[in-house]
Amino acid sequence: MEDLVLLCPIWPRSTGPGLAMRADRIARALARRFRVHLRVVPVHELRPEAAPTHPESGAFTTAAQVWLPPGLPQRLRFRGDPERQRIAPGLDAALRASISGIDPGWVVALRHSMLPLARDLREHIAPGARLLVDLDELESAAAASVARLCDARGEGRAGRHLRRRAARYRKREAIELSIADQLWVSSTAEAERVRGATGLPARVVPNVVEEVLPANPRTGGDGTRTLLFVGILGYLPNLDAAEWTAREVLPLLRSRASGAVELRVVGPCPRRAERLLRSAPGVRVVGFAESLAGEYARADLCVVPIRAGGGTRIKLLEALAHERPVVATAFGAEGLELEPGRDLLVADDAPAFADACAKLLDDDALAGRIAGSGAARVRERYGPDRLEREVDAATAALDRGDTPP
């Protein structure tokens, strides 16, 4: 087996943020044919207390965090060529120390933010290594999408900051991504964005979920129907989705559905956001949950009203894997091979979203058909074996020297 260095900005985990879950599943797929050496480089933040002593995944031959000087991570994300020359010796030293004794034939960068390090590793430490970049989403497009959401929410300062970030990425993407031997994204929609923005081809390595036992029958018993939203509310698209559901959708739904209805919000939540959500009638903020299985088991319906961001929504796949009916926005379902009206219901404005929820809450037969079809589609197309097949095919194509499509 060849050695492969996997560069990631956070520790891979089977639960938690989408990037952590995607990294964990990609690592396990790569471990089928490589000795995977994980190196975590926290370019987004330096918080030693946030790093676990041991990685959760058993896929790694070795795993370590690469400590960089304070202030370096932000420069690393957006540096230009003159600054790269100035700080390259420090980066090389940190990398050399972290992979001493390893001769990688492959380097995989998870997200564009890891690409500068991956480039230095290949140029100065492992010449000839194949370089893969898993984008999941196109950074410039995702930042621009969230900027538009900020504008719609009246948060102009945050929107301007994100537009500047999107512009910085756009200037770099076509040039920097072209050095990779292969680019991976989570959907055909993201592949089209990459090609449109850079002219470069990208392979689809989809987000997947673990095999999960269906959550039926529902365990709630007090007569109140429960809508479930799962997400880390420190991320603006998730916070916006929860607030929009609580303020715009839930009042309409409670007036249209028969019986009491509650919105249950599960996931880490900043205090200010928690106070705002709790002030809305019929909303219960649970916060962080060690296991989501119990939350899915008590839910009548899962909602994915996402209006901005990038990639594909793992929370939607998880809900269907637990055999729960789902109502999502078109953006929330974007990039997933699901059929509206059969595998889930899709609505974009508050009245239509409330109507779709009421329809599923008041028609058990329809809810059962939607949930069953969605669960079958997820088991067919979004199980771990799908990602493993795509990763095997992608790396094998490089071994053969195939030209990207």
Q: Are residue 248 and residue 372 in the same domain, yes or no? A: yes
pLDDT at 191: 96
Q: Are residue 372 and residue 396 in the same domain, yes or no? A: no
The answer to whether 283 and 262 have CB atoms below 8 angstroms apart is yes
Residue 181: which residues within 8 A CB-CB, separation 6 or more?
A: 130, 131, 132, 398
> What is the full per-residue pLDDT of the chain (405 aa) written as tens digits?
899 999 998 888 887 778 889 999 999 999 999 999 999 887 655 444 444 445 566 789 999 888 766 555 444 544 444 444 444 556 667 777 888 889 999 999 999 888 888 888 888 888 989 999 999 999 999 999 999 999 999 999 999 999 998 998 898 898 889 999 999 999 999 999 999 999 999 999 999 998 766 655 565 556 789 999 999 999 999 999 999 999 999 999 999 887 899 999 999 988 888 898 989 999 999 998 888 888 999 999 999 999 999 999 999 999 999 999 999 999 999 999 999 999 999 999 999 999 999 999 999 999 999 999 999 999 999 998 999 999 999 999 998 877 666
225: nearest Cα among 105, 112, 327, 74: 327
Residue 70: which residues within 8 A CB-CB, separation 6 or more?
A: 46
Q: Are residue 188 and residue 301 in the same domain, yes or no? A: no
259: nearest Cα among 178, 150, 158, 364: 364
Domain count for the chain: 2
Q: Are residue 270 and residue 391 in the same domain, yes or no? A: no
Q: What is the CATH number of the domain that holds 306?
A: 3.40.50.2000
Q: Are residue 191 and residue 299 in the same domain, yes or no? A: no
The answer to whether 249 and 265 have CB atoms below 8 angstroms apart is no
For residue 156, being part of any structural domain is answered with no
For residue 34, being part of any structural domain is answered with yes
Q: ω before 17 within 30° of 0 (cis)?
A: no
Q: For strand 60-65 and strand 34-40, is the pairing parallel, antiparallel, or unpaired?
A: parallel
Prediction pTM value: 0.89
For 318, the domain range is 225-381
For residue 346, being part of any structural domain is answered with yes
CA atoms of 145 and 58, how far apart (whole Å): 35
The single-letter code of the amino acid at 75 is: R
Give me 334's structure tokens.
């974007």
Cα dihedral 138→385→294→257 (10° resolution) = 70
Q: Are residue 233 and residue 124 in the same domain, yes or no? A: no
pLDDT at 212: 64
CA atoms of 57 and 401, how far apart (whole Å): 30
Q: Are residue 61 and residue 189 in the same domain, yes or no? A: yes
CA atoms of 197 and 301, how far apart (whole Å): 37
Tell me phi and psi for residue 122, to 5 degrees: -70, -40
pLDDT at 57: 60
For residue 147, being part of any structural domain is answered with no
The single-letter code of the amino acid at 180 is: A
The answer to whether 98 and 39 have CB atoms below 8 angstroms apart is yes
For residue 90, the surrounding DSSP H or E stretch is helix 81-98
CA atoms of 177 and 404, how far apart (whole Å): 14
For residue 274, being part of any structural domain is answered with yes
Q: Are residue 319 and residue 373 in the same domain, yes or no? A: yes
What b-and-e string marks burial along 19-53, b requiring 16 or more CB atoms within 10 Å of the CB?
A: bbbbbbbbbbbbbebbbbbbbbbbbeebeeeeeee
The answer to whether 5 and 121 have CB atoms below 8 angstroms apart is yes
Q: Are residue 20 and residue 129 in the same domain, yes or no? A: yes
Using the Cα atoms of residue 337, residue 339, residue 340 and residue 343 in order, give the sign of their dihedral.
negative
pLDDT at 258: 78
For residue 176, the surrounding DSSP H or E stretch is helix 156-177
For residue 214, being part of any structural domain is answered with no
Q: Are residue 281 and residue 365 in the same domain, yes or no? A: yes
Q: Are residue 390 and residue 322 in the same domain, yes or no? A: no
Beta strands in 96-207 (DSSP E): 106-110, 130-136, 182-185, 203-204
The answer to whether 120 and 90 have CB atoms below 8 angstroms apart is no
Q: Are residue 348 and residue 308 in the same domain, yes or no? A: yes
The single-letter code of the amino acid at 342 is: R
230: nearest Cα among 221, 239, 222, 218: 239
pLDDT at 113: 83
